[in-house]
Amino acid sequence: MHIRPLAWLAFSALAFHAGSATAQTPTAPQPRACPAEVPAGATCHTGEDGLGGFYWIALPANWKPETGVLVMHAHGGPSDTGPAKLERGEEDLKRWAITVKAGYAWAGATYRRGGFGVSMAAEDTERLRRHFVKNFGQPRRTILHGQSYGGSVASKGAELYATVDGPNGPVKGPYDGMLLTSGMLGGGTSTYNFRIDLRVVYQYVCKNHPKADEPQYPLWQGLPMDAKLSRAELANRVDECTGVRKPAAQRTEQQKANLANIVNVIRIPERSLIAHLNWATWLFRDLTQLRLGNRNPFTTAGVQYKGSSDDAALNAGVLRYTADPAAVAELAKDSDPAGRINMPVLALHAVNDPTAFVELESSYRETLDRAGTGNLLVQNFSDESEHSFLSDPQYPALFTALLDWIDKNDKPTPQKVAALCKGYEAAYGDTCKLLPDYRSPPLSSRVPPRPAP
């Protein structure tokens, strides 16, 4: 049995492909001391994936493949745009050590390089899964877990690997179920629209990214490749304009007005302004110039912005761009989910997520409904304001509910997940914050829709 040819390999002549280097066999897992966050008795292993990336694997004490569950982790970001680093995998394992505490094996790839490339990252995750099976055996069940940007990676991977070639034709692929947490689930063509909105609104208000005496460039490029701007300098510019790093009482009246105009239009909390501008700078540079051949996938032309002190002036003054259809098509092929899944999916999202809007859940729900697979999705929401990690007992509850769905055909409701979570509070030392009756609003209620082409 083998994996079908990847849909994204049609991109081999495009910048989304990782390059011309010949793939080598991943190195054998080498024992390594587990981070302190991993429960005692677990064993950890690391290695190189043969494509420029690294991996970490953690096995709970007494884990056996014939009875065990493997969680393949697709990490978030992509905040780093350079070469892969082993330390990135260690950071992910530390953050998600709760998976090992719950009794599941954990495996995470760093991806072969930083920067954007959803299908590439999905291939790297699947490549590691096969390497795990070769070295540790075929688990009883395999769960694909995508966090943040990794939610986009997992949702795409679930479709790319929905089936494999068997001796008598295609059979179901290697993943038994999928968990999506704080997912960027709108696909590249819609998830990042609010960040191009941020760039044009920020520039209209602050006029310092770029400054008037610096080389000008279309903001969808993120930043010229030869620019020397650092993250620290950008933060200083944002602070100079908005006072965002100062207590509110220490901001000038102009800074208060500038900050209010930006965050009220883009609808992000103050604390995430600099982070979103970082992504809309360095990630956009990687995406548009290195992956899309310096072509623009973003549109601001015709978008109506609301929430400022003078919306008429804002809409008359912001920079307007029209997307290149070819760039949009390439980005969609690489990163947009189509809903062609064949496994149970649970999702969790904080209602006040400052990084990935909760409304992205509606986008994914609509995608699956259009594909006729909406019955395979159960979404859960929590009364939290974080992105990277939510209340501890919620995760084992989700894994338990997902495995019950897979093993017993017991499709959970959000109410069941909430009840399971309560049962884990004592063991995991935190409080469940699930909202079983919540339903996410449409993405268009948060991010201005793009005019039809």
**How do residues 234-283 score in pLDDT, each as one tens digit?**
999 999 999 999 999 999 999 999 999 999 999 999 999 999 999 999 99
**Segment 351-383, tens digit of pLDDT:** 999 999 999 999 999 999 999 999 999 999 999
Please, what is the Cα angle at 103 between 424 and 376, to 5 degrees? 75
Q: CA separation (Å) from 361 to 279, 281, 426?
A: 21, 25, 29
C-alpha–C-alpha distance, residues 235 and 225, integer Å: 19
The pair of structure tokens assigned to 370 is 């259009």
Contact yes or no for 76/152 (Cβ under 8 A): no
Contact yes or no for 70/153 (Cβ under 8 A): no
Within 10 angstroms of residue 110's Cβ, the number of other Cβ atoms is 29
Structural domain boundaries of the chain?
2-187+340-445, 189-332
The pair of structure tokens assigned to 98 is 């709760």
Enumerate long-range contacts of 134-138, CB under 8 Å, 24 or more apart. 135/28, 135/29, 136/29, 136/57, 136/59, 136/65, 136/105, 137/64, 137/65, 137/66, 138/65
C-alpha–C-alpha distance, residues 257 and 425, integer Å: 43
Please, what is the Cα angle at 186 between 84 and 410, to 5 degrees? 95
Contacts of 392 (CB under 8 A, 6+ apart): 98, 424, 428, 429, 430
Contact yes or no for 86/80 (Cβ under 8 A): no
H or E element in which residue 69 lies: strand 69-74
C-alpha–C-alpha distance, residues 84 and 367, integer Å: 32
Closest CA to 183 of 349, 1, 8, 373: 349
Would you give per-residue pLDDT tens digits along the chain (453 residues)? 444 433 333 333 334 544 434 568 899 999 999 999 999 999 999 999 999 999 999 999 999 999 999 999 999 988 777 889 999 999 999 999 999 999 999 999 999 999 999 999 999 999 999 999 999 999 999 999 999 999 999 999 999 999 877 788 788 899 999 999 999 999 999 999 999 999 999 999 999 999 999 999 999 999 999 999 999 999 999 999 999 999 999 999 999 999 999 999 999 999 999 999 999 999 999 999 999 999 999 999 999 999 999 999 999 999 999 999 999 999 999 999 999 999 999 999 999 999 999 999 999 999 999 999 999 999 999 999 999 899 999 999 999 999 999 999 999 999 999 999 999 999 999 999 999 999 999 999 999 999 877
The pair of structure tokens assigned to 149 is 């940007």
Pairing of strands 69-74, 54-59: unpaired
Pairing of strands 105-109, 54-59: antiparallel
C-alpha–C-alpha distance, residues 292 and 192, integer Å: 15
pTM of structure: 0.93
pLDDT of res. 23: 64
Within 10 angstroms of residue 338's Cβ, the number of other Cβ atoms is 17
C-alpha–C-alpha distance, residues 276 and 190, integer Å: 15
C-alpha–C-alpha distance, residues 254 and 389, integer Å: 35
3-state helix, strand, coil in the chain (%, to 5): 40, 15, 45
Contact yes or no for 28/135 (Cβ under 8 A): yes
Half-sphere exposure of 218 (CA within 13 A, CB side): 16
C-alpha–C-alpha distance, residues 403 and 399, integer Å: 6
The pair of structure tokens assigned to 212 is 């008037």
Contact yes or no for 129/70 (Cβ under 8 A): yes
- In terms of Cβ atoms closer than 10 Å to its own Cβ (0-12, 13-18, 19+), residue 372 is exposed
Mapping DSSP onto H, E and C, the string for 380-435 reads: EEECCCCCCCCCCCHHHHHHHHHHHHHHHCCCCCHHHHHHHHHHHHHHHCCCCCEC
Q: Which CATH number does 2-187+340-445 carry?
A: 3.40.50.1820
